[in-house]
Structure 1
């Protein structure tokens, strides 16, 4: 039996995100991902107007004339939500936890997918894979996804993106659209991300809070690492301390963004206390223009 307060929270998210999908994002999701799922159909002789990138060089060499690969658009996509539930997501200073923001974004993506007759799957992770929900269609399935996002109690505390991506690479054989939703406070995930990128359309969604970008000027402040429990006292009245904090944060962000650019991946940034609708619609529109 699902508790009443749980049902109310799920219902509130369903109402908010269903409105977004119907009134704000209508058509944008489809435009962004139409044709992303392509299935090989046949090899045929080259014709004037065919794109050079579709040439099958092995078959062409065998027969001494150019042949091209022909694909057909799959009628449905598989959307996978790879979601970070480490303890750093239980943080928020803008009347919203990062985990709650994550749940709303993922619910919006999931409802957009089923509106387009696509499948939705879920992988929750910390420093281990916490739970996997197989990709399926339908509103009831999306409500299950939302329930897991809001109320799954993770066993792990830290973030290990490499573990989640390695799991994805083992189990997701069919090409999918993969949203990796995390604060990306981790390192050492480049290799499995590169492998995933070759097979799937991988889109990072960075979840962040303003207090993770800079320190307030409030004197002595005790900072606690949510994932390790380590505590440190810093003097935030010191300009040098605040500047060093900002410099470290920016260096980490620039390193992460360089990695994404090298892999030619779009990324979405969502901040607690701010609407995620504009970053999401901006992403959908940019994708739609390139299709």
Structure 2
């Protein structure tokens, strides 16, 4: 796993995001992560017979002299390599809901800014796709400024249903392993999430759920108008203890279904029910 430390961003006086990879990167580009290939510099990996790596510059005289059969040995080093990072952002209408600490989309954009800054620090490549039924903002790796796309994303109003845009993007990523962030409120059927995780099976996925504490804080009694942001339907409801209990049970069941799917695919869910905490995100990325 590549090492990363928590650092302060002097420009914003905030904690900068740090992430680590759970695999050795296979890439020709030098970078900050542990590589799968050997190179001329980096951390010492092993000694190998000269015949396997005929490079006289890496000859280890001490190990060669200890061999009773007169064999020659050379040092191999771990190449530090750059990785590719992909961010998939759900911009469906439900992500507009704001209970006072920011909508799911606004927090996803704030986290994307942190990811982009960390990617620049590590020298990695960044791709970004945001949308619902179709892509509304996209930044293919190495083609367009990430900051420009994020600025454009801030001007978008959440709309549409589903995550077809994210599914399409996942299917075009190929098999070369990437670190993939999925940023959403996950207010869709768990079967859809299963399809997305299966499409991303070749990659290291970080699902981040931007929830709201208000979803579990209904009053015991009261009249409330409930609105479905994606369908536009509204309904006047009398809140009472029995309905409140069923609401909480349904919310807990959906949350657990999402978390269980992520665990089943080996990609633990990061649940952020309140304001964005960059330090908590870094801790999750470094400890998972």
By how many angstroms is 1:98 displaced?
A: 2.1
TM superposition shift of 1:71:
12
Q: Distance in 2 between matches of 1:150 and 1:92?
A: 15
SS of 1:249's equivalent in the other structure is helix
Say if 2:256 is the partner of 1:265: no
2:151 is matched with which residue? 147
What CA deviation, in whole Å up to 9, does each residue of 1:233-285 have, x standing for no partner? Answer: 2222x11111100000011111111111111112212234x242242122133
- When residues 171 and 277 of structure 1 are mapped into structure 2, their CA distance, relative to the original with a 3 A threshold, is closer
Q: Does 2:93 match 1:87? A: yes
Q: Does 1:121 align with 2:107?
A: no
Are 2:225 and 1:234 aligned?
no
- 2:72 corresponds to: none
- Whether 2:106 is the aligned partner of 1:103: answer no
In structure 2, the partner of 1:38 is 26
**Contact 2:138/2:149 (8 A) holds in 1:** no
Residue-by-residue CA offset, 1:189-229 (whole Å, 9 max, x unaligned): 213422312x1111101011112234234611000011111
**Alpha-carbon distance between aligned partners in 2 of 1:204 and 1:92, rounded to the nearest angstrom:** 20
Q: Distance in 2 between matches of 1:221 and 1:124?
A: 32
Structure 2 SS opposite 1:265: coil
When residues 214 and 159 of structure 1 are mapped into structure 2, their CA distance, relative to the original with a 3 A threshold, is farther
- The secondary structure found in structure 2 opposite 1:136 is coil
Aligned 8 A contact 2:129 2:169 in 1: no
Q: Residue 256 of structure 2 is aligned with which of 230, 254, 257? A: 254
Aligned to 2:286: 285
- SS of the residue 2:140 aligns to: strand
For the structure 1 residues 163 and 143, does the alpha-carbon distance in structure 2 shift closer, same or farther, using more than 3 Å as the test?
closer
SS at match of 2:102: coil
- CA pair 251-233 structure 1, distance change in 2 beyond 3 A: same
Stretches of structure 1 that go unaligned for 5 or more consecutive residues are 1-16, 43-47, 50-69
Distance in 2 between the 1:102 and 1:91 partners? 13
8 Å CA contact retained: 2:206, 2:269: yes
SS, match of residue 81 in structure 2: coil
Consecutive unaligned residues in structure 2, runs of 5 or more: 1-7, 28-35, 39-45, 48-75
How far apart, CA to CA, are the structure 1 residues paired with 2:268 and 2:229? 28
Kept in 2: contact 1:20–1:108 (CA 8 A): no
Q: 1:98 to 1:114 in 2, by over 3 A?
A: same
How does the TM-score come out when normalised to structure 2? 0.71
TM-score for the superposition, normalised by structure 1: 0.71
For 1:134 and 1:172, the matched residues in 2 are separated by 13
SS in 1 for 2:145: helix
Q: Which position in structure 2 is the counterpart of 1:191?
A: 195
Aligned residues: CA RMSD: 3.2
How do 1:200-211 residues align onto structure 2 when only pairs under 5 Å count? 200-211=203-214
Distance 1:243 1:93 in 2: 20
Q: Is the 8 A contact 2:107 2:276 kept in 1?
A: no
Between Structure 1 and Structure 2, the one with more helix by share is 1
SS in structure 1 of the partner of residue 177 of structure 2: coil
